[in-house]
Each structure stands twice: as C-alpha cells, then as structure tokens.
Amino acid sequence: MSGRVLFYVQHLLGVGHVRRAAALARAMEKKNLDVTVAFGGFAVALADFGNARLHQLPPCRTADMSFSALLDEKGNEVDPAWWDKRREALLALYQRTAPDVILTEHFPFGRGQFKKELVPLMQAAKGRARMACSVRDVLVAKNDSAKTEKIIDLIDRYFDRVLVHGVESVIPFDATFAPARRFVDKISYTGYIAEPEPQDTGDRQTGRGGIIVSTGGGAVGADLLRTGLEVATQERFARYRWRFLAGDNLNAAVRRELEAGAPGNAVVEPARADFKTLLANCALSISQGGYNTVMDVIAARCRNLIVPFATTSESEQSFRAARFDDLGLINLFRGGELEAQSLGDAAMSVLKAGLPDPAKPDMNGADETARLILKMAGAGK
C-alpha cells in the first residue's frame, strides 16, 4: 500500500456528503491507499465505499432541520456518556490504524458539535499524521463571526490542506466563505466530484422518454414531489411516463400519501442504483439542487429543471444553481413560489428547448483528491 488514510465521515440529514465520501474512498483505493472510514451516521443505501474498511462509530442523526439536537440509534438525545464512548472509539481507531493522513469530511466548516471528538483526535495526531479537509464548493452562509474565527483557528492549528471540490473559475471558495483568503495557501481545488459514467450495457429503454422527479435523500423533498404529482395530472403532460424517486429519508407517511395520490401515468419508488441510466434516457429531469444530483444531471447532458431547496438558513443549493444557470450548465426554476402551474410551465419550456450544451466543468474531483492525498501520504511524517 502507498499510505494509510483515516477518513472521518459524519452525515446528519441528507446523503450527499456520504455519496461524495464514498466516491473519494473508491478513488483513493485505486491509488493503492489503505483507507479506513470512521463512519458516524446511519447506513445509507447505494453508498459504495469499495474495499475501504468501514468502521461504524456509535451513530447519530439530527433531530430536525434546525440541527438543534443529536439523537442516538434509540432516538434519545445524546449525553456526555455517549460522547465519551464516541471519543474513545475514534481515538482507539486512530491508534490501531496509525494513518499517514487524516481526512475529515466537511469539518471544520460544519459539524461543529463534533469538536468534542475531533479536536482530541487531531491533538493526538499532530506531528504524526498530515491532515486535510474535504469540503464542497459552496457553504451555507455564516453570520456568526465568533464561529468563523474558530474555524480559522482550527485550520491554522491542525490542517495542512483544504480540498475544495469545485473549480475556482466557476465558484471561488471565498464567494461563500470570505475568510478563505486568510488560508489561500492551503486551498487546493480538485474539480467537481461526479459518479463515473454508467457502463454502456446497451440499455436505451429504461426510463426512455419519461420525466424523472428526484430529491436526493428525500429529507426535504416532499413539497417538490407533491407539486410534481399535480403537474403529472395536467393534460399537457399526459403522454409522459412520470417517475418519482423518493429518497430513503423521506417521511414514510408522506411516501404513502404520494403513492396513494399518484395518477395512472406516474410511479413512486425508492431511489435507484441506475439513476444515471434513467437520466441518460429521460425526456426531462426535475430535481432539487444538491451537489451530487446537479453533477449527475450535467454529466448525463439531459434536459433538466433544477428547483433548489432553500430556506432563510439554507442558501447553498440556490447559490450554486444560479451560478450554473448563468453558465448554461443547468436550467434554474425561476417561477417564484413552487406551485403546479409555474412548475409545469417551466418544465414544458425546457422540454421544447434543445439539449444542454455539452460543455461541462472539470468533474475529475475524486481522482484529483486521491492524487493529492497520495502526495500527502508520501510526504509522510
């Protein structure tokens, strides 16, 4: 092996972080790196970590969209004893694996609650392992200057590299995290991370000519799915076969409601492993604007309509989608409040337009990240 990597991955709500992490683990494996994943969330369907060793820490998830509390596997709020158990498990894993590189997914730009276990890990590893952060291109806006300074301090003290999974000329990291200018010497842009193109099996029929409505993990996708079902009942869309992909995190009661209300030209089903094949064959993809979905849509070069999930505290999807729309890479829904008439009008407009321009940004982010981690492991201790 070329070096040992301990990859810390903790998701709380969506599945995008896990899918990117899985792609990175597979890419590092191809570089002959020995990868151990410290996995702190609950299992995610269709997340393929390849031959990386997956070590399950005591899992947790967020109680709600406000991230106000963390819940353990029994649904109880985590307590000091739980944190002690997690911290001891993570430190023991570090001692067993003796990594050359510690890679954290998103931290310290998020997952602030987990400083309780990550700072002790980094203190133990300082001077013994090199440290890098894996972070997406766009961050949610932060208005707390004290928290921002803590992030900067952690980067200054512990991190050798900040691996930004984007392209500087498309979206510079300081566009959504202005203090990045203070550690610009540590930033490496890897390009975007996209799942590999599906192997050409000659399947030209699955989903052929249909309309896909997808919401990633599904935790915040109910409104788009409900509205999409209304659009599917409109006469102008009667000839299309509609496929609604309900992510694993969609509320079970909501899914039953959608299944019961689906018209005859629509099916509601779980997320599928052949999603990229569906995209390649579809007439139109309507989706939220999560990082991974947007990359899949661009790679498939399918007609698309992106409806970003946005709240007063969640700006990431809207920011990226607006920039990508400006570049002609996707079609951003600009119909105002989400309702069936405006969504249907936007969908029909895209259907009547030509296929997207084949130009796409650098999407070799997984391979480039693996190359950089290999270089860090080789530089060693």
* Crossing angle (nearest 10°) for helices 16-30 and 365-379: 60
CA distance 18 to 2: 24
Does one domain contain both 151 and 219?
Answer: no
Q: Are residues 235 and 314 in contact, defined by beta-carbon separation less than 8 angstroms?
A: no
Q: Please report which helix (H) or strand (E) contains residue 218, including its range.
A: none
Rounded to an integer, the average pLDDT of 193-218 is: 78
Residue 185, burial from CB neighbour count under 10 angstroms (0-12, 13-18, 19+): exposed
Answer whether residue 106 shows pLDDT above 80. Answer: yes
Closest CA to 163 of 330, 28, 44: 28
Query: In the prediction, which pLDDT does 13 show?
Result: 81
204 falls within a domain: no
- Residue 303 pLDDT > 70: yes
Give residue 200's pLDDT: 57
Regarding whether 155 and 244 lie in a shared domain, the answer is no
pLDDT at 16: 87
Q: Give the per-residue pLDDT at 262.
A: 94
**pLDDT bracket for residue 204 (50, 70, 90):** low
- CA gap 300, 251 in Å, rounded: 29
Do the domain assignments include residue 29?
A: yes
Q: Which residue has the tokens 């296929």?
A: 355
- Residues 35 and 170 both lie in one domain: yes
**Is residue 312 situated within a structural domain?**
yes
Q: Tell me, what's the pLDDT at 216?
A: 86
Task: Report how many domains make up the chain.
Answer: 2
In which band, very low, low, confident or very high, does the pLDDT at 317 lie, cut at 50, 70 and 90? very high
Cα separations in angstroms, 299 against 79, 296, 315: 43, 5, 23
Query: Average pLDDT of the chain?
Result: 92
> 177 and 51, same structural domain?
yes
Residue 310 has a pLDDT of 80
Identify the band that residue 380 occupies on the pLDDT scale cut at 50, 70 and 90. Answer: very low
Strand 211-214 and strand 284-287: the pairing is parallel
Residues 348 and 368 in one domain: no
Q: Do 307 and 280 share a domain, yes or no?
A: yes
What local confidence, expressed as pLDDT, does residue 218 receive?
A: 78
Do 50 and 119 fall into the same domain?
yes
- Specify the range with the lowest mean pLDDT, choosing from 25-29, 80-84, 245-249: 245-249
HSE-up (13 A, CA, CB side) for residue 248: 12
Q: List the structure tokens of 226.
A: 């409900």
pLDDT digits (tens, 9 = 90+) for 126-170: 999 999 999 999 998 777 889 999 999 999 999 999 999 999 999
288 located within any domain: yes
Domain identity same for 158 and 229: no
Q: What is the pTM of this model?
A: 0.93
Which pLDDT belongs to residue 357?
81
The reply to whether 264 and 152 lie within a common domain is no
Q: Is residue 269 assigned to a domain?
A: yes
Specify whether 19 is located in the same domain as 113.
yes
Q: Is the pLDDT of residue 41 over 50?
A: yes
Residues 183 and 38 in one domain: yes
Whether residue 199 lies inside any domain: the answer is no
Report pLDDT for 15: 84
Question: ω into residue 108 within 30 of 0, thus cis?
Answer: yes
Predicted local confidence at residue 381, as pLDDT: 42
Q: Are 34 and 203 in contact (CB under 8 A)?
A: no
Q: Is 205 contained in some domain?
A: no
The whole-number average pLDDT for the span 291-310 is 94
Partners of 211 in the β-ladder: 242, 284
pLDDT band, residue 242 (cuts 50/70/90): very high
pLDDT for position 197: 67
Domain containing 45 equals: 3-193+363-379
* Across 60-69, average pLDDT: 82
Length of the chain: 381
Q: What percent of the chain clears pLDDT 70, i.e. is strictly above it? A: 96
Average pLDDT over residues 236-252: 92
Average confidence (pLDDT) over 103-125: 96
pLDDT at 375 over 90: yes
Token pair in block for residue 228: 């999409």
Residue 33, pLDDT > 70, answer yes
Structural domain contains residue 161: yes
CA distance linking residue 320 with residue 330, whole number of Å:
10
What pLDDT score was predicted for residue 201? 56
Asked if residue 198 lies in contact with residue 280, where contact means CB atoms within 8 angstroms, the answer is yes
- Are 178 and 235 in the same domain? no
Q: Place 68 in a pLDDT band, splitting at 50, 70 and 90.
A: confident
Q: Are 86 and 10 in contact (CB under 8 A)?
A: no
CATH code (residue 222): 3.40.50.2000
Task: Decide if 187 contacts 173 (C-beta within 8 A).
Answer: yes
